[in-house]
Amino acid sequence: MVPSLAGLRRKVMTTLAVAFCIVFACNTIAGAQVVDKAAETNVAEANVGAISLKELGRGTDVVFSANDEPLTVSLPVPDGLTATALIGTVTAPIDFSRGWIEVSADGRPISRVEFDAAQVGQGLPISIPLAGLAVIDRSIAVSMIGHLVPVDDRCYDRSNYQPLALRNTSIVYDGTEAQPSTVSNFFPPILRKATIYLANSRSQAQQTAALLLSASIVNRYGSQPDAVVLAELPAGQSLPDSVPGLFERNILVGAEGEGGIDLAAGPSGYPVLRLTGDDRSLVPQVNLLAANFNGFWAASQALTASAKAVAEISRDVVPVGDLRLGSLTSSGLEHVQVEVPFTQSQLGRAMKNVTVRMIGTYVPMPSTRSAQLSFSVGDQRLDSRAVDNSGRFDIEFTIPDELVTREMNVTAALDVSGDFQCGSSNGSTLTIDPESTISSNVAEPANPGGFQSLPQSMLPIVEVGTTRGDFADTVRAQRVLVQMQRLSYLPLQPRVQSFVDAASSPLPAVLVAADGKLPDGVDLDLPMETADQGLLRLRGLQFNAPYGSMQVAVVPNHEIVVVTSNGDAVDVDNMLNWLEGDPARFGRLAGDVLVAPRDVDPFDISVNLAPVSGAKTSDDDSGISSTTIGLIAAGTAALVVISVGGVLFFRRRSQ
C-alpha cells in the first residue's frame, strides 16, 4: 500500500475467513459514481457505487511484493451494503514476459488472472468479485499474490525495479446504507462527516466534551479524510433536525438529563447519538464512549491502519512489538530490507536521547557469500557490521538528536555479495524481533521544536483557552486540534479553561485570541514579536496590513500554540481555511510561526529555531532562492525601523 499521511508504512494483517473467485475483464471496467455527500439525499435511496481506497484512508494503489509474499487487505462493508467487486488497473514493468495475480483464502488457491506484457502495456482493468464473501465485524478479507516472469527467464533481484501493482483501486458496493439502531453500531466503518451539536455553546463542559469527541473520532478513523465539525443546536430544538448524507452522523452533547449515552430519533426521522449530563457528568460520558470505540469500530481499525498503540503512560523503554507493526520480516537475494517506523506521538512524548536496540535473525550465508548488516535513519547509517554464521544479532545504537524528527523510520538492511546461481540460489531472510526496544527521555523543550513538535508536545492533556469563550472561538480551537490529531497516534485530551488559567497552566495549551486582544495581566512572549520585519515585508506582509497567525512558543517546560491576529478574527478564519485546503499542509509546516496576510498566501518562518536542513516551503515556486532572500534582508535591515536580525528562514519540507 502507499504510505499514509503520517508517512509511515504500516502492514495490515487480518485472519482470512473468506472464499471468492476472480473474474478477468479485458478493457471495459466502468466504475460507478460516488454519491455527492453534500447533496440533500435520502440515505435510504442513495446509490453508493464505487468508493476509492483513498476515502478509506489508504493510497489508491495495491503494490505486490517482489518476492511473491501474500498481501492481505481488509475491506469495510457498512451495514445494509454488499461489497460486489474490487476494481483497479494492473500495471507492471516492461522487463517481463508474462505474469499472474493469484487469489487465495484460508490458505488455498481460489483463482488467478494471467496476462502478458502486451496486455498491461497501457494498464489492464480487472475486477475481483467480492459478492458472497463472509462479512466479519463489518469487513471482508482478501489475499492476493502477484508474480512476474522476467524476459528470457533472466535471474535478478526484482526488489530494485518497478513493482507489479493494482492502481486506482476502488470497492464497488450495492444496496442502501442502513441507519444505526443502537449506540454500538452508530459509527459506520466509513465516515464522511460527523456533526457535533452543542446544546449550550458557552458551557465549558460542553465545549470540552465536543473537543474530546472530535479528537477521539479523528483518532479512531485514522487517515480517513472525514470531516468533524461543530454546530450549535438551534434555539427551541431538543434534537438536531438536519438530514445526514451517506456515511454521515449527527451527535448532540449536553442534552438535559442524567449522565448517559443513547440513540434518539431526530425530527427528520434519522438517529442522533445523544450524550446527556450536566457540567459534572457530561465529560465522563464522552470518555466512556471513547473508551469503548474499539468495540464499536473493529472494521474501521482494520481498513485504515494497524491497531493504534495507545500507551497508558509514557515509558522510557518501549518494545517494538508494542507498536503493532505486523510481521517485520523480508526476503530477497542481494538486498533485504526491513523498516521499523514509529512516531514520537506513538510513544506518547517529545523525545530525546533516543537509543534503539535491534534484535533479530537472518539466514546464515553459505561459504560462497558474505553479507553486511546495517541500520540507518534517513540517509545516515548509524551502525554496520559483517554477519557471522550464528544467524542472530543484537545491536544497540543511538539516533543523534539532529536526526530525531516527528516521524522516524529505522531501516535494517542486509546486503549480500558473492556467488549466485540463477534459479538455484536460495534467498536471504531478515527478521526483526518484537522484543527489540526503543528507549528515550522526555525532551523539554521538544525536539524538534516549533510546528514539528506538534502533536507530541501536546500529549496527553492539552489546555484550551479562548479570549471570548464563545462558539466561534470554540470552533477555531477545534479546527486546530483536529489538524494536530490527524498527525497523532494517541488521542489528544483537550480541557477547556479560561484563557488566563490555560495560559498560566504548567500543561501545554492551545490559546485562541482571534482578534489579538489579550486579557489584562496576560503577557505572552510570542515569536512574532521579535520577527525580522524586513523579511516579513519580503514575504508579503506589508506594514500595518491585516494578518492572522499561528505561533508555537516555549514557556517553562512546555509548549503553547497561539492562534491570533492583529485585529480581525476573519484573518484567523482565512488562515484555518487555507490549512484545511490541503490535508498534508499542516504536517508540512516548519519553523515556529505561520503568517497569513490578507489576500496573500500564508508562509511559515523560523524566529526562535535553527533552520531545518533540507526543509522546503512554498517559496520553491517564487523564483527567489533562500540565499537571495538572506542577501536582500541583510541589505534592507538598516532601513526598517523595527528590525531584529538573525531570523532564520527556510523552505517548507515537502512530503
Q: What is the pTM of this model?
A: 0.83
| Beta carbons of 20 and 133 less than 8 angstroms apart | yes
Mean of pLDDT over the chain: 83
CB within 8 Å of 195: residues ≥ 6 apart? 229, 230, 231, 240, 242, 244, 248, 249, 250, 251
Q: Which range has the worst mean pLDDT, 222-226, 270-274, 313-317, 562-566? A: 313-317
Give the separation between CA 204 and CA 501, rounded to whole angstroms.
13
- Burial class for 234, CB neighbours closer than 10 Å (0-12, 13-18, 19+): exposed
| Beta carbons of 157 and 332 less than 8 angstroms apart | yes
Planar angle of CA 560, 566, 569, nearest 5 degrees: 85
- The band of 39, judged by pLDDT with boundaries at 50, 70 and 90, is very low
Residue 219 has pLDDT above 60, yes or no: yes
Residue 36 has pLDDT above 60, yes or no: no
Cell of 267: 425530527
Give the separation between CA 480 and CA 561, rounded to whole angstroms.
9
Cell of 98: 508474462
Planar angle of CA 305, 311, 315, nearest 5 degrees: 130
Residue 226 has pLDDT above 50, yes or no: yes
Q: Name the residue among 124, 101, 130, 136 with its Cα closest to residue 26.
A: 124
Predicted local distance difference test score (pLDDT) of residue 156:
64
Cα atoms in the 13 Å half-sphere on the side-chain side of 368: 5
Helix (H, G, I), strand (E, B) or coil at 209: helix
| Beta carbons of 261 and 274 less than 8 angstroms apart | yes
Helices (H), 247-281: none
The residue type at 564: T
Residue 17 or 129, more confident: 129
Q: Which range has the worst mean pLDDT, 285-299, 355-369, 449-463, 617-631? A: 617-631
Predicted local distance difference test score (pLDDT) of residue 57:
85
Percent of the chain at pLDDT exceeding 70: 80
Predicted local distance difference test score (pLDDT) of residue 421:
65
How far does CA 624 lie from the centroid of its chain?
A: 32
- Rounded to 10 degrees, the C-alpha dihedral 39/45/46/49 comes to -160
Residue 358 has pLDDT above 70, yes or no: yes
In the 8-state DSSP scheme, what is residue 458? G
Residue 307 has pLDDT above 60, yes or no: no
Residue 571 or 417, more confident: 571
Predicted local distance difference test score (pLDDT) of residue 423:
55
- The band of 425, judged by pLDDT with boundaries at 50, 70 and 90, is low
Planar angle of CA 596, 602, 604, nearest 5 degrees: 100
Q: Which range has the worst mean pLDDT, 21-30, 73-82, 245-254, 507-516? A: 21-30
CB within 8 Å of 338: residues ≥ 6 apart? 328, 329, 330, 360, 411, 412, 413, 430, 431, 432
Give the separation between CA 357 and CA 379, rounded to whole angstroms.
19
Average confidence (pLDDT) over 76-101:
92
Bridge partners of 431, per DSSP, are 329, 361
Residue 33 has pLDDT above 60, yes or no: no
Helix (H, G, I), strand (E, B) or coil at 578: helix
Residue 12 has pLDDT above 90, yes or no: no
CB within 8 Å of 168: residues ≥ 6 apart? 52, 60, 61, 88, 89
Burial of 401-417, coded b for 16+ CB within 10 Å and e otherwise, reads eeebbbbbbbbbbbbbe
Domains in the chain (CATH in brackets) are 43-175 (2.60.120.260), 183-304 (3.30.379), 324-442 (2.60.120.260), 450-639 (no CATH)
The per-residue DSSP string of 522-544 comes to: -----GGGGS-HHHHHHHT--TT
- The band of 276, judged by pLDDT with boundaries at 50, 70 and 90, is very high
